[in-house]
Structure 1
């Protein structure tokens, strides 16, 4: 197809995706839940930029928006939906996420910031295996949704269970999240399902 620039790609993307204004946004659902959807490509530092403190996935404007909106939120539970891992672990050769060395400084900042907030979780949508991980340094919790089909699973070995992994399954399925109150106590449940809807792992939290 010849050369296809980032600007041309963004134009096609915006023609086909029903977004208004900025590609990052936050949605509040009742008293107990607020979610954040972030953009990890449009503002990312160029590949040829030297590693260091200025290298970013989110960009300064999105980072400031994220901090401002999280700080002002009084939701019981807060979920960051990230296209790429924040806790991981991820493959060492990947160069698009906060769990690896290329963006380590921004990743360290993000994990520390989120871990200092109550009721915060991360959901990663773009890795082809299911997992639940806890960062050893900060205690931040992340759920990997995994692929929707077994055929698309891969990229990690079922035998490679690392200290962060509380649950690891290299197969397809989906992640369900339920927020509710039991006797006025707010609760959130994350459930990994297989492709047939059978629960493979379930984690429940309350404040």
Structure 2
């Protein structure tokens, strides 16, 4: 019995190791966000192996609507989707290369969210009915599984985030996750919209 228990513990430790997850974020919180847009400059790919996700999105207590830059295949692919409850099919996307700029938008009308992506001649649009979710966090995330944050920087420009409440109450407060160098410049509140000139998320290594 002792041997079986020891094997189980070692297996559990191994499984935790191979699914290690690291988060690095820049965030804004408000009562409810209704739209967000901006330009993402695609970073260099990390060292092969592991799964890197880089994404902007709006989040509720039950899920997150996100434009995910996925480098797990060794090239970057970006697509829109909602991860959480309700469970919805993933949206549309396309491949991109380091240095290219992707313009993204999230816009709501009631429970319906329309997401668009465009880069050069490529574009994609996804419409999702996300019932039961109040998006109260705008988030710019680096989500890593078994890969170091040794790439980047990840740069966003021309960001506009709109809520149902005055931006003066939330535009200047910027929580984050992870110990890493980042900068947020030119954040200005006007009405219910927070305009941000640039976000730079630099390598943690």
Q: TM-score range by the shorter chain?
A: under 0.3
State the TM-score, normalized to the length of structure 2: 0.26
Bigger RCO of structures 1 and 2 (CA < 8 A, at least 6 apart): 2
